[in-house]
Amino acid sequence: MKSFEPEQFRRLFPLIVSNGASNLSVDKAPSLVYFDNAATTQKPACVIDCYRHYYQNFNANVHRASHNLSAKATTAFEQAREQVKHFINARSIKEIIWSKGTTESINLIASSLGQRVLSSGDELIITVSEHHANIVPWQLIAAKTGAVIKVLTLDKNGRVDLSDFDALLSHRTKIVCCAHLSNVIAKINPIDVLIAKAKAVGAITVIDGAQAVAHFPVDVQKLNCDFYLFSAHKMYGPTGVGVLYGKQLLLESMPPYQAGGEMIEKVSFNEATTFNALPFKFEAGTPNIAGVLAFSEALTFLSQYSTAQMRDYELQLTHYCYQALANISSVQFIVEQVADIPVISFTIKGHHNHDIATSLNSYGIAIRSGHHCAMPLMEYLQISGCLRVSMAAYNTIAEVDYFIRCLIKILEPESTDSDQISVKTNSAEKRHSNSEASTEIIAKLSQVKGWDARHREIMLLGKQLPRLDKTKRNDHTLISGCESLAWLMASKNSQGVYHFHADSDAKVIRGLLVIVLAALNDKTAVQIQSFDIDAYFSRLGLLQHLSPSRGNGVLAIVEKIKEITE
């Protein structure tokens, strides 16, 4: 086993090496500082090469064929299953089911197991901090069966509240769903205690391990859970591959989730169709063979290193970043105490989460903002969303320092440079000059070099947009399809000229609204419908620099205006 050396480990990831930078300067941003590992990790060269090796050397469908190429592919495919069995210490390969990911695994269990064990009046306990993937499938099956969902709350540190669990647990409890740790809070839940308590009343336990398996060892036999689920892409493996671990007796009692291909034993129009044995009963169709083999390569890659040393280094990163953020007075952590893995969630007083994330992106720093597929948790915490910094073993202390320097710079009071663009979108005496305003915006932004500087100009534009009264920011004026909340009101005069008032809770969206309104305000319906907005955005060099969700938000604003004027 190799000693874990962070710098050597980092050099094994092509995207990190080719897009990173050794000299981290606020004035000269690197191409990438990747702090979005809870969403997906980057892949080492050996995993990437494994894909090509499979397709170039033994691409064939697995199992039933009799030729050598298929035999070779089948052997490698089933060896990967054996490897996963050892990785989580399952009893048998019959307990290892391949899926597309954690989400599909949960849907499989909810659909197949839920139909078998749930009936009207039965109860499921689900933690308030669960990812949507471990909530919605259960809501759907509960609606079909008449079962009732009970919501388990958290203690002040963000872990499940055991006293609340005791109060919810009863002889009516059939299923308990809990993440090993939340993708937002990142505190290890006492799932061993939950599992033991659930078993005492005969309840089945479903554990979402998507955020856990990349950071510390998991032993499903020791936990004694009924199901444990995780995805390859969050642990340096490929996308599109997941693992569903389930106890053999439970899996054998469950009906198939999908039909066709490998899950069939015998099909007939004259007698009952029969299904294959485990694990194939739940693996309909041609599997993601290349992905499974690449995941096996990822497990082999990780097995070279000391798990304890990697864990120690990740905790070092976690504590260092947490303390650095704690030293910024406007940072507010969403729960008390430092996280158990390198995932830190926080808000910044007086700033919208999307504004901060977008500003950091202009410095080459990739973090995530929003509700993180955990809307019930955000509602429980009474926040609309948060920022999430998630690190991996290839990240460095220097990257954390650079992130903090950039964040502090972003939080500095904004410039009131007299040279900034001035656009008054609600002033009647200025309505005639909207074409001049759009021309001025194009001229100004085209002179700005670099997306970071252009982004700051857009943020400055946002300061000039008059705020809508709170009573006018409602569901009727809300623009659907925009990542941040945004609202639009329209009026039309006797000459058929439209004038729009708009607002958003994010500064960057307010700036983008100024840009859109400069082009489309104070025009007739014919003029608005015929305006070449794509050419306008192209001249601004705008959409190619925005994230897909932000770009879609801008287009949603335009579509709303065109819908009103149709």
pLDDT in tens, 100-138: 999 999 999 999 999 899 999 999 999 999 999 999 999
pLDDT at 41: 98
Q: How far apart are CA 197 and CA 48, in angstroms?
A: 43
pLDDT at 544: 63
Of the pLDDT bands very low, low, confident and very high (cuts 50, 70, 90), residue 90 is very high
pLDDT at 427 over 50: no
Evaluate the omega torsion of the peptide bond into residue 256 and state whether it is cis, within 30 degrees of 0: no
Backbone angles phi, psi at 488, to 5 degrees: -145, 130
Q: How far apart are CA 391 and CA 38, in angstroms?
A: 8
Q: How far apart are CA 434 and CA 440, in angstroms?
A: 10
> Which segment, 35-39, 419-423, 548-552, is predicted with the most confidence on average?
35-39
Catalytic residue among 321, 373, 406, 482: 373
Instruction: Based on the residue annotation, tell me whether 50 is a catalytic residue of this protein.
Output: no
Angle CA 549–554–555, to nearest 5: 95
pLDDT at 153: 98
Question: Which residue's structure tokens are 């409890």?
Answer: 173
Amino acid at 345: S
One-character DSSP codes across 196-216: HHHHHTT-EEEEE-TTTTTTS
Question: Which residue's structure tokens are 């070449």?
Answer: 532
Assess contact for 507 and 459: CB atoms under 8 A.
yes
pLDDT at 295: 98
Of the pLDDT bands very low, low, confident and very high (cuts 50, 70, 90), residue 547 is low
Nearest residue to 18 via CA among 36, 43, 35: 43
DSSP 178: E
Assess contact for 549 and 524: CB atoms under 8 A.
no
pLDDT at 352 over 60: yes
Number of H helices, E strands in the chain: 21, 18
pLDDT at 29: 63
pLDDT tens, position by position, 500-519? 999 988 888 888 888 888 88
pLDDT tens, position by position, 396-420? 999 999 999 999 999 987 544 434 4
In the chain, the domains with their CATH numbers are: 6-43+309-411 (3.90.1150.10), 428-564 (3.90.1010.10)
Q: How far apart are CA 171 and CA 216, in angstroms?
A: 33
DSSP 524: E
pLDDT at 418: 38
For residues 194-213, give the mean pLDDT: 98
pLDDT tens, position by position, 209-251? 999 999 999 999 999 999 999 999 999 999 999 999 999 999 9
Nearest residue to 565 via CA among 526, 525, 531: 525
Assess contact for 343 and 186: CB atoms under 8 A.
yes
Amino acid at 290: A
pLDDT at 151 over 90: yes
Write down the pTM of the prediction. 0.85
